[in-house]
């Protein structure tokens, strides 16, 4: 398989290393608006360098392309690949805003290509085991939190460039809640600037309540002033209580009176890349746990939370002022 990359930054670099480990995948082209960055990544691999994704698609006979760029940089990178019949992996978020994502999705569906996205918590082994343990138990409540420090990139401090902390980070928790508990119908949320964090134009902390279509209720908190990384999800159900700790990669709790304790060292990014490339190799989308359309629903949920926190009103998912 011949693979291209749009983006040569930190996130792209991590994905590139995982593609390198796949025997029948060869990276033949690297594209970045920063030519020096593209060259640094491409040269050790003998790949060609591009500063325009249109030229990359025209010059390389790609089986698949990975798109890993900042949210504000999204344009037609995925839709043009789709028009050329190139399967596409898009790092999360899959667009800056849902309306942009819906335009891309239309091109993807028209071309009937395979897609993958960067929701890596779906590929953790603690998620696998939790799904197995919950298979015969009803869930009533999910309680998630993603606490961290400020984003390292300056664009991450501006809501209109990144979607803020919720779209760039806590989105992983919102996505995993959807994965375990199903789609969300309504949202209420509150945000605070109590700590007056310098440099960001969005709340330093947000708390949200989610009403799922199936009757489950969830809560999610996020913040950018934590001295440590916290990424956890609690699950409460019929004779079951679990905690999925994605920072420590631990699963603890109890099921039907039995104590649960699992420790894993999961190469979540490797599993994610391998799943997408297996889909490309086999032509079978089912290998991927988060395809573009599903990831777009998570993005829509994220912006609904942002909107609800700003207005203080209950919001229906997808019906926001920032579509």
CATH code (residue 250) = 3.30.360.10
Residues near 64 by beta carbon (within 8 Å), at least 6 away in sequence: 1, 3, 4, 86, 87, 88, 89, 114, 276, 277, 280
Domain check: are 17 and 34 in the same one?
Answer: yes
Q: Say what the pLDDT of residue 198 is.
A: 75
Instruction: State the DSSP string of 195-239.
Output: T--TT-SS-SEEEEEEEETTS-EEEEEEES--SS-EEEEEEEETT
Domain check: are 110 and 127 in the same one?
Answer: no
For residue 37, the domain's CATH number is 3.40.50.720
> How many structural domains does the chain have?
2
| 321 domain-assigned | no
Domain check: are 251 and 284 in the same one?
Answer: no
**Does the global pTM surpass 0.85?**
yes
Residue pLDDT, tens place only, 284-317: 999 999 999 999 999 999 999 999 999 999 999 9
| 150 domain-assigned | yes
Domain check: are 201 and 216 in the same one?
Answer: yes
Residue pLDDT, tens place only, 238-268: 999 999 999 999 999 999 999 999 999 999 9
The range of the structural domain enclosing residue 260 comes to: 121-264+298-316
Domain check: are 173 and 308 in the same one?
Answer: yes
Domain check: are 91 and 217 in the same one?
Answer: no
| 322 domain-assigned | no
Residue pLDDT, tens place only, 43-94: 999 999 999 999 999 999 999 999 999 999 999 999 999 999 999 999 999 9
| 323 domain-assigned | no
Provide the mean pLDDT of the chain. Answer: 95
Q: Are strands 87-90 and 115-117 parallel, antiparallel or unpaired?
A: parallel
Least confident of 112-116, 153-157, 316-320: 316-320
Q: Say what the pLDDT of residue 320 is.
A: 62
Domain check: are 175 and 310 in the same one?
Answer: yes
Residue pLDDT, tens place only, 167-219: 999 999 999 999 999 999 999 999 998 776 778 898 999 999 999 999 999 99
Domain check: are 114 and 127 in the same one?
Answer: no
| 250 domain-assigned | yes
Domain check: are 13 and 28 in the same one?
Answer: yes
Domain check: are 80 and 128 in the same one?
Answer: no
pLDDT at 322 over 70: no
| Cα of 165 vs its chain's centroid, Å | 13
């Amino acid at each position: 398989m011949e693979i291209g990359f749009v983006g040569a930054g930190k996130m792209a670099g991590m994905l590139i290393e995982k593609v390198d480990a796949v025997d029948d995948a060869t990276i033949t082209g690297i594209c970045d608006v920063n030519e020096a960055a593209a060259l640094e990544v491409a040269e050790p691999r003998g790949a060609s360098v591009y500063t325009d994704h249109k030229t990359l698609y025209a010059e390389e006979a790609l089986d698949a392309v990975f798109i890993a760029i900042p949210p504000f940089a999204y344009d037609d990178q995925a839709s043009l690949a789709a028009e050329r019949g190139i399967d596409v992996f898009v790092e999360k978020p899959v667009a800056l805003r849902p309306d942009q994502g819906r335009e891309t999705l239309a091109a993807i569906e028209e071309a009937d290509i395979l897609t993958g996205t960067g929701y890596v918590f779906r590929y953790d082994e603690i998620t696998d085991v939790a799904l197995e343990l919950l298979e015969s138990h009803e869930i009533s409540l999910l309680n998630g939190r993603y606490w961290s420090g400020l984003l390292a990139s300056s664009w991450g401090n501006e809501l209109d460039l990144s979607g803020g902390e919720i779209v760039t980070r806590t989105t992983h928790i919102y996505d995993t809640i959807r994965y375990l508990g199903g789609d969300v119908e309504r949202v209420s949320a509150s945000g605070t600037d109590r700590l007056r964090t310098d440099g960001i134009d969005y709340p330093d902390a947000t708390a949200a309540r989610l009403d799922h279509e199936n009757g489950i209720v969830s809560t999610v908190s996020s913040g950018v002033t934590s001295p440590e990384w916290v990424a956890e999800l609690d699950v409460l159900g019929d004779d079951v209580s679990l905690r999925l700790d994605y920072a420590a990669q631990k699963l603890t709790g109890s099921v039907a009176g039995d104590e649960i304790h699992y420790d894993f060292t999961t190469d979540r990014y490797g599993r994610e890349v391998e799943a997408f490339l297996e889909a490309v190799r086999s032509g079978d989308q089912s290998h991927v746990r988060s395809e573009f359309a599903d990831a777009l629903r998570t993005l829509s949920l994220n912006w609904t939370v942002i909107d609800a926190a700003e207005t203080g009103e209950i919001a229906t998912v997808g019906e926001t002022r920032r579509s």
